[in-house]
Structure 1
Amino acid sequence: MKNLTITEDLYGQRLDNFLLKICKGVPKSHIYKMIRTKCIKVNNKKVDANYKLQLSDIVSIFQLKIPTSNDIQNNKILPREFSVAYEDDYLLVIDKPSGVAVHGGSGISFGVIEQVREFYKNNNFLELVHRLDRDTSGLLVIAKKRSALLAMHSMLRDRLIYKKYIALVNGRWLNKRQHIKFCLSKWLTKSGERRVRVDPNGQEAHTAVNLIKNYGDSYSLVEVDLYSGRTHQIRVHLSSVGFPIVGDTKYGIDLSNCDKKINFKRLLLHAHSLKFTHPNTGKETKIVSKLPSDYSNIISKLSDMNY
């Protein structure tokens, strides 16, 4: 058994993230199994993987599997340099491509944060401030200091980080600006897939939609203001009012039934801009990301087709 005491430079992070850093080479699936089977405890109690470590907590690790060379090779994290939209000593904001998970888990060995840590090996602290769906592209904020992470999380809770997204939706959007405030809750399909649905007894959620341009009656380009950060919020809200995001196979239209002339192959949702008070300087900080080329090419095609 090994006991680790949480000090000031370690507290506030999730248990699973902490363990992944100190158990180098141990498969992520094994760490989660150890948490589930009480082989890892905090203050001699079973806790969930998302437990936030507190100052002076004692993490006890029992029966830690020592990885073989094959384990390490099979779970090797490949470093990756992502396009950087903003960086200073406190924050790193990258342009995440569509199709890349922000972190490992659920059958995924590693994601953006693990690859960023591998690329920036000299940085002792790199933590996700928030998440993006795997198929959503755009701005993703990573904290480079614990003080920055705590400050950004506080702003998120107080809804002081302003996020805008660009979405292409099916149908002709009519209102210049429309608010959607349906409550949302999570549920699991019979196959165990995580989904979100409108539920009057669910968590409050607030989305505002601004019309940018209509393409006939078939498509509309909209800007979305996100006032809360529920899982799949934009996708479910837009689908619930009859305007699913193009390429959304979970809440929208099956790709096989879509317009072959457009030839899109992914969810057309892009995290376009962020505005917040910088956690160190106190200055207003705004970061903007252009549409990726595959997305902008589709918009150009729609314009050329004179919808």
Structure 2
Amino acid sequence: MSEQPPAAGKASLIEIDESCSGQRIDNFLFTKLKGVPKSHVYRILRSGEVRVNGGRSQPSRKLDTGDKVRIPPLRLPEREEAPLPGNLLRARLEHRILFEDDSFMVVNKPAGMAVHGGSGLAYGVIEAMRNIRPELRFIELVHRLDRDTSGCLLLAKKRSALRDLHELFRSEHDVEKFYLALLSGVWARKQQLVDAPLKKNTLKSGERIVRIASDGKPAQTHFRRMRKYSGATLVEAQLLTGRTHQIRVHAQSIGHPLAGDERYGEDKLNAVFRNQGLKRLFLHAAKLSFKHPATGKAFNIEAPLETDLQQYLDTLATLE
């Protein structure tokens, strides 16, 4: 199946195989026409220039195996080729694959790397993995992690697996997500369920920030203390919902923002952490558990704590 947009003056005809069966036509076009504005995609759908089996198609139409999709010629300004990830980064990611089968893979995402390109970033984990594995006809993100967060990141290798995994993640009860986080200060409690709705806000500067708000989306995080240190507390945070910046905002709400959190933390405390050797946000996606979409069997995966975070913990004096 062609992976390139049609050239100017020439239409392309693509036959749908199993990997794309069940996908909406608009989402299919977004994937095939990388870099083409969504407004343009919807324009050629509305105008009837995109044809499915010779007929017009609504954006919500779901494709079936064997459907033939005609994409009209596109006349877009020439764009520079996006730079590819370097060999060292590609090798690094290749060695961070924790699990892989025919349905999906789990990558131990490094901190500081976005899950996808955009907003000034030429590429992220998904673009790098596509470059590393050009033989894969399909590979998509199942969920996301913040750029500064390391740990378990799930990528689907089949359209059917992506649908099934998305359904699991939407239920918020069929996937167990555990993080390791370092709270600033000594947290006296052994465990706590934080139940506080969250709402996204955009500041005048354009920065996106999340706040607790009564009209926000429901959000629950269960914190369990693992070890107390001098000036910090290591906790396991279980996400019972999946909101943007959820752990970070909920930690802030109990008076113990995450160590190294420049957005929701305290500058003075972060300066202390930096002087002690912590160079990043201390948040790591440690474990994922769910039913395998193909076998129905329980699937559990763990990403070991990053070396830099473990080395930092080793420098701290323990209180218990």
TM-score band w.r.t. shorter chain: 0.7 to 0.9
For residues 61-140 of structure 1, what are the structure 2 equivalents within 5 Å? Answer: 63-65=74-76, 67=78, 71-72=80-81, 75-78=82-85, 80-81=90-91, 82=93, 83-140=96-153
3-state secondary structure, aligned to 1:39: helix
The superposition leaves residues 264-293 of structure 1 with CA deviations (integer Å, 9 ceiling, x where unpaired) of 111100000000000011110100111111
Residue 55 of structure 2 is aligned to residue 44 of structure 1: no
Q: Is the 8 A contact 1:182 1:205 kept in 2?
A: yes
Q: Is the 8 A contact 1:41 1:61 kept in 2?
A: no
The superposition leaves residues 238-281 of structure 1 with CA deviations (integer Å, 9 ceiling, x where unpaired) of 11111111011011122763245422111100000000000011
The superposition leaves residues 14-58 of structure 1 with CA deviations (integer Å, 9 ceiling, x where unpaired) of 9578535444xxxx4xx3xx33xx32216318xxxxxx9641598
**Cα distance between partner residues in 2 of 1:276 and 1:14:** 29
Amino acid of the structure 2 residue aligned with 1:87? E
Q: Is the 8 A contact 2:24 2:63 kept in 1?
A: no
**Cα distance between partner residues in 1 of 2:120 and 2:190:** 41
Partner of 2:179: 165
3-state secondary structure, aligned to 1:152: helix
3-state secondary structure, aligned to 1:220: strand
Residue 263 of structure 2 is aligned to residue 250 of structure 1: yes
Q: Which moved more, 1:57-66 or 1:284-293?
A: 57-66
For residues 138-149 of structure 1, what are the structure 2 equivalents within 5 Å? Answer: 138-149=151-162
Q: Is the 8 A contact 2:141 2:155 kept in 1?
A: yes
Query: Out of 241, 247, 252, which is 1:239 matched to?
Result: 252
Partner of 1:267: 281
Give 5+ residue unaligned stretches, structure 1: 46-51
CA change 1:155–1:260 in 2 (3 A) is closer
**Cα distance between partner residues in 1 of 2:239 and 2:25:** 25
Partner of 2:312: 298
**Cα distance between partner residues in 2 of 1:18 and 1:213:** 49
Q: Is the 8 A contact 2:24 2:62 kept in 1?
A: no
Partner of 1:277: 291
**Cα distance between partner residues in 1 of 2:254 and 2:245:** 15
- CA drift at 1:194: 1.1
Amino acid of the structure 1 residue aligned with 2:46? N
3-state secondary structure, aligned to 1:102: coil
CA change 1:101–1:259 in 2 (3 A) is closer
Q: Is the 8 A contact 1:239 1:252 kept in 2?
A: yes
CA change 1:259–1:247 in 2 (3 A) is closer
- CA drift at 1:95: 0.3
3-state secondary structure, aligned to 1:95: strand
Amino acid of the structure 1 residue aligned with 2:235? V
CA change 1:261–1:228 in 2 (3 A) is same
3-state secondary structure, aligned to 1:169: strand
3-state secondary structure, aligned to 2:256: coil
- Pairs aligned (count): 285
CA change 1:117–1:18 in 2 (3 A) is farther
CA change 1:196–1:64 in 2 (3 A) is farther
- CA drift at 1:303: 3.5
Larger Rg: 2
Q: Is the 8 A contact 1:39 1:63 kept in 2?
A: no
Amino acid of the structure 1 residue aligned with 2:253? S
- CA drift at 1:177: 1.5
Q: Share of identical aligned residues, percent?
A: 37
CA change 1:12–1:175 in 2 (3 A) is farther
Give 5+ residue unaligned stretches, structure 2: 1-8, 48-58
